[in-house]
Structure 1
């Protein structure tokens, strides 16, 4: 490996400002704020979204279906498909 070509990495803590989650890692970023964690000074960086607060990763995202399933089917295949299908015939069990 060549010497003096790699950036210097520092201990860093990223703090999610929406939920307060903390991620301790290493990064090339520095900041004015420093926090002591396990006897080591870490640079503190605030982030607005992380895996702890993003709706995709937390599963709290909501999908609102504004159009019903039958309306979608009708729009896609037309009324004729519904008329041709008719009502399903039920068979009696045990007869």
Structure 2
């Protein structure tokens, strides 16, 4: 292995999913501004918008944004013309 190629700030970091407040600890070099205390130890904290705890692929949940698709928009737009036929 090549020497002196690995980062020096490799440490344990807490990753927190902000959607459901789940956390996990993993070694990383990610830069953080916050910290969190867990079991008496202080860890750097990195907040994520999505992780395997909240991603629909991993959870099996189907989420709809409430927007209608193109077929529904078309039917709504031309519904008034159906009444005239």
**Structural RMSD (CA):** 2.0
Q: What does the per-residue CA deviation read over 1:26-81, in whole Å, with 9 as the maximum and x for residues that have no partner? A: 10112121122234321101101111111111111269xxxxxxxxxxxxxxxxxx
Give structure 1 regions of 4+ aligned residues with deviation exceeding 6 angstroms: none
Mark the runs of 5 or more structure 1 residues left unpaired by the alignment: 64-95
The 3 A distance-change label for structure 1 pair 34 and 5 is: same
**Which residue of structure 2 lines up, in the alignment, with residue 32 of structure 1?**
33
Mark the runs of 5 or more structure 2 residues left unpaired by the alignment: 65-85
2:53 matches 1:55: no
